[in-house]
Structure 1
Amino acid sequence: MNGDDVERWFGEYLAAFEACGRGERETDSLLAYYGVPLLVTTDAGFLALTSGDAVVGAVRQQIDGMRDAAYDHTATLDAEVTVLNAASALYRATFSRRRGDGSEVSRLTASYLVTDGREGRRISVLAAHSA
């Protein structure tokens, strides 16, 4: 795995996520970027999403909230890639989700374990950082 490739791939994922947030794509299209199972950890707890339907359901909650908030795009405030080995890397970033007028919807810092397996690159772990 190469850090520049991971950054490019994550940029493609972020563009797809943004399109979902604006209602231009369906949420299930993000299964091209999420692994199944997907492990998610937040202050609210830990989830092991073991089916595509469970992954889409969890992501759909975020997407619905973004659409309700008139979301337009995400600004990446900082990002760092750490290659762990030939099959995985950590992508850590702080994101600002914004409306079309530039006002902030929300801010999130998260770490993603990006893995390269049989189906290609996928996010296998999503860890939201405490505020």
Structure 2
Amino acid sequence: MSLRDEVEAEVREWYGAYVDTFVGLAQGVRTGTESLLDFYGAPLVVVVDGDHTVLPTRAATLDWATGMIDSLRHAGYAGSDISRLTVHAVAAGAAFLEGEFSRHDREGTEFGVGTGAYLAVRTAEGWRFASFISNTQL
């Protein structure tokens, strides 16, 4: 297996753990949004539906993530379907992820379709998102 293949496989596995954590929190079957700090770096560059912000600290990142989780819980979030995910290793310690997703509520009604892109970097603590881009308006 090439280094590129190894990095991409490692990032896919890590991303799967992120999705499991995120979905469990948004469904309300898990508690402790601070567990998302195992996936988000600080600073974190966030672009959502065209709005751009830089979250400079772990505390700011946690506040943002908690708000996102709370919004999904309020909407009756039940899960996400990832229709496409590509992972491209760009260096031994960096990978670009891009995909399409849809969200549905407990009744099975789709309430969000969008695209997401991430820059993941390998840190001393493990892989972390350095940048998060999501668009539900395309």
TM-score (norm 2): 0.87
Deviation at 1:48, TM superposition (A): 1.1
**Structure 1 residue 4 corresponds to structure 2 residue 9:** yes
Deviation string for 1:80-119 (max 9, x for gaps)? 0111010100010111112233221212201000110111
What is the rounded CA distance, in whole Å, between the counterparts of 2:107 and 2:55 in structure 1? 35
Give the alignment of 1:1-131 within 5 angstroms.
Answer: 2-23=7-28, 24-129=30-135, 131=138
Pick which of 102-111 and 10-19 moved more: 102-111
CA distance in structure 2 between the aligned counterparts of 1:8 and 1:100, rounded to whole angstroms: 27
Once superposed, what is the RMSD of the aligned Cα atoms?
Answer: 1.4
| Regions of 4+ moved over 4 Å | none
Letter in 1 for 2:126: G
Q: Matched residue of 1:2: which SS?
A: helix
Separation in 1 of the partners of 2:103 and 2:93? 30
Q: How many residues are treated as equivalent by the alignment?
A: 131
CA deviations over 1:57-78 (Å, ceiling 9, x no partner): 1112211111011111111011
How much has 1:45 moved relative to structure 2?
Answer: 2.5
Cα deviation for residue 9 of structure 1 reads 0.9
Structure of higher CA gyration radius: 2
Q: Which moved more, 1:84-93 or 1:101-110?
A: 101-110
Distance (Å, rounded) in 2 between the aligned partners of 1:87 and 1:81:
13
What percent of counterpart residues are identical? 28
Structure 1 unpaired stretches of 5+: none
